[in-house]
Amino acid sequence: MPHNRLTETEPATEIVGDFWEYPLAFGDTLSSHEWVPLHINRLLTSRFVARALAENRRADIGTALLLWCEAFRQDPAGTLPDDDLELARLAGYGADLESWRAAREGALYGWRETHISNQEEAPGNRRLGHVMIAGIARDMHRRKRGRDQARTEGSKAMARTRVRRKLVEIKCGRAAESPDVVNEIAEWLGQR
């Protein structure tokens, strides 16, 4: 039974036989992300590039890069739909399914069907995943969640500061000194 891992130190997911549980769920997106890392040494020394060059299929590299970029904009991040019409559109082939199908195998090198943990919420939405892309998507999603959480905490801290100032301004200094009172008022105002 083969086991493939994303990294030696922290596996994002494990492939066992033909079953692969994707590390992100539906709803885990990278919306508002403008960039993701491109591991150039890994790409340039990959079997994918070597094979594309050896088979004189350089166009597969460009098509694959387009699909990788599109994958990060999908739900869940880092996946692609398992649908030729949609893949042709994402890869820039439009409705030219014949040309897409000729490029499909090379452009989707390393991609495989994947199971999404909350698949029952989107039945019929079969997804493809790639181990390297999955690792990048997982890491970027963690960073996004961390930034979102920091932004939320910063907003809450600013609200508490404003409440405290306003309480002092209206001569309620004792209430302004109580973290519980300040938190309650700030939370109540945040719900409005």
pLDDT digits (tens, 9 = 90+) for 31-90: 877 888 889 999 999 999 999 999 999 999 999 999 999 999 999 999 999 999 999 999
Distance CA 9, CA 141 (A): 18
CA distances from 56 to 53, 61, 189 (A): 5, 11, 63
As a whole-number percent, the residues of the chain with pLDDT over 70 amount to 91
Question: Chain-wide mean pLDDT for the chain?
Answer: 87
Is 80 exceeded by the pLDDT of residue 18? Answer: no
Q: What confidence tens digit (pLDDT) does each residue in 125-145 have? A: 899 999 999 999 999 999 888
Distance CA 19, CA 52 (A): 27
Residues 79 and 114 sit within 8 Å (Cβ to Cβ): yes
Q: pTM for the complete prediction?
A: 0.73
Other Cβ atoms less than 10 A from the Cβ of 6: the count is 20
Question: What pLDDT sits at residue 8?
Answer: 36
- Fill in the amino acid letter for 95: A
Alpha-helical regions (H) of the chain: 40-44, 47-54, 58-72, 84-90, 97-107, 131-169, 173-176, 179-190
Residues 132 and 110 sit within 8 Å (Cβ to Cβ): yes
Residues 133 and 43 sit within 8 Å (Cβ to Cβ): no
